[in-house]
Amino acid sequence: AQSVTQLGSHVSVSEGALVLLRCNYSSSVPPYLFWYVQYPNQGLQLLLKYTTGATLVKGINGFEAEFKKSETSFHLTKPSAHMSDAAEYFCAVSVSGNQFYFGTGTSLTVIP
């Protein structure tokens, strides 16, 4: 069975500081991994995804994530937080491509 664990339901960072949102997955087969962002009253938006190939994936808005098979992790980072990054972030895993398993989400607060 596949599952995703997001460590830290709430993360606060200062504006300009590094953003690190953690995601660990469980999968018996090579997974496909995703990060989505959800702004208030809006739908989920894909930030980035790992399917195959390069393990460092760059996404929109300056975010990137690295697939580390040995650590079963897919942590999301951004070098410098911006106020507009405040949102809910979800990590998701899929092995079949049509069923996605989402984590419980991490709420990011950016402190001015």
Partner 1 sequence: DTGVSQDPRHKITKRGQNVTFRCDPISEHNRLYWYRQTLGQGPEFLTYFQNEAQLEKSRLLSDRFSAERPKGSFSTLEIQRTEQGDSAMYLCASSLGLAELPTDTQYFGPGTRLTVL
In the complex, the residues that contact partner 1 under the rule CB under 8 A are 4, 9, 32, 36, 41-46, 49, 51, 90, 92, 94, 96-105
Q: What is the CA radius of gyration of the chain?
A: 13
Nearest approach, Cβ of 9 to partner 1 (angstroms)? Answer: 8
Kindly tell me the sign of the dihedral angle through the C-alpha atoms of 50, 54, 58, 59: negative
Nearest approach, Cβ of 47 to partner 1 (angstroms)? Answer: 11
Q: Which is nearer to partner 1, 17 or 66 (CB)?
A: 66
CA nearest to 101, candidates 91, 111, 112: 91
First to last CA, the chain: 41
Q: Which is nearer to partner 1, 70 or 96 (CB)?
A: 96
Q: Which is nearer to partner 1, 4 or 19 (CB)?
A: 4
Nearest approach, Cβ of 15 to partner 1 (angstroms)? Answer: 26
Are the C-beta atoms of residues 59 and 65 closer than 8 Å to each other?
yes
